[in-house]
Structures are given as structure tokens and as C-alpha cells.
């Protein structure tokens, strides 16, 4: 339900933006911020320590759209615009993939596979002509 409402709002705003642009007004711009904290865990436990210095990829059907590295607290931020990927694709077919092996954060986690998570909308903010959609991982899990 939330997804349908959000998509409806964005469609109305984008139609209004096209009308404004046709009248010579500045266009409305959208930005998608994908951020979160990667746990050093095979099951995405919130009690797990963070996974620092991990390569994180935003993937759409196996194609890497953008990437980032986690900081010392395991946090990452990836910013993309609608010309690279749509909100519908972000929510339906995109995944956050942790390309760095789990053994890099904990030598006892010698498992095959990678951590991955689907995305969810966490917040939408409108600042003038800028729409900022904040997305985050639902839950990281080991994918073999």
C-alpha cells in the first residue's frame, strides 16, 4: 500500500515537473540515496558487529549500477538518479550486494556466498524542486 501511494505521488510530481518545464520553470529533480549498515553476520543480526571496509554494490539484475565502501562503522551511502535506475526497479529488482568475503570481517566466517538485501523506502523528502528518496536494506542474508 505504501509503495502504491509513493509511486502515485512521484508520478503526479513528475507530470507536474514536465508541465513546469514546458512553461519555462526549473525542472524537478529526484535523487535516490541508498544507505545502511552492513553487519558482520551470515543472517543479518542487528546485534552483530559492523563490517568495515566492505565493497558494497547496488545491483540491478546482476548489473552493478553503483558501488561504495563501508566506513569503520560498517555504514555505506550510494546516491543514484532516475536516469540510472527507476524507483520501481530499485524496489523490485535491485539488491545491495556485499562483494567482500565475510571472512574479511571475521576469520571464523569461512562461508561461500555473499551478503545481499532487497531495498525498502525509508523516507521521502521534498526540498523545493528536489525530491530525495531514502532507501535502505531490508535485511542482509547470505546468498550462496
pLDDT in tens, 9-60: 554 445 544 544 555 666 668 999 999 999 999 888 878 999 999 999 999 9
Helix (H) or strand (E) holding 75: strand 75-80
Nearest to 45 by CA among 121, 102, 120: 102
Q: What's the helix, strand, coil split of the chain in %, to 5? A: 20, 40, 40
Cell numbers at 73, concatenated: 562503522
Whether the predicted pLDDT of 4 surpasses 50: yes
Cell numbers at 42, concatenated: 551470515
Gyration radius from the chain CA atoms: 17
Give first-to-last CA distance, the chain, whole Å.
31
CA distance linking residue 18 with residue 117, whole number of Å: 34
Beta bridge partners of 135: 34, 121
10 phi and psi angles, rounded to 5 deg: -65, -35
pLDDT at 70: 97
Whether the predicted pLDDT of 7 surpasses 60: no
CATH of region 33-122+131-143: 2.60.40
Amino acid at each position: 500500500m505504501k509503495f502504491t501511494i509513493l509511486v502515485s505521488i512521484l508520478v503526479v510530481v513528475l507530470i507536474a515537473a514536465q508541465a513546469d518545464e514546458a512553461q519555462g520553470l526549473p525542472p524537478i529533480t529526484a535523487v535516490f540515496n541508498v544507505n545502511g549498515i552492513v553487519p558482520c553476520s551470515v543472517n543479518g543480526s542487528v546485534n552483530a558487529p559492523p563490517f568495515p571496509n566492505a565493497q558494497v554494490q547496488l545491483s540491478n539484475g546482476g548489473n552493478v549500477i553503483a558501488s561504495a565502501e563501508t566506513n569503520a562503522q560498517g555504514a555505506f551511502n550510494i546516491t543514484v538518479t532516475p536516469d540510472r535506475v527507476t524507483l520501481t526497479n530499485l524496489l523490485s529488482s535491485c539488491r545491495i550486494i556485499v562483494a567482500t568475503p565475510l571472512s574479511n570481517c571475521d576469520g571464523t566466517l569461512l562461508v561461500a556466498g555473499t551478503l545481499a538485501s532487497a531495498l525498502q523506502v525509508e523516507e521521502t523528502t521534498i526540498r523545493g524542486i528536489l525530491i530525495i528518496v531514502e532507501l535502505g536494506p531490508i535485511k542482509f542474508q547470505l546468498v550462496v
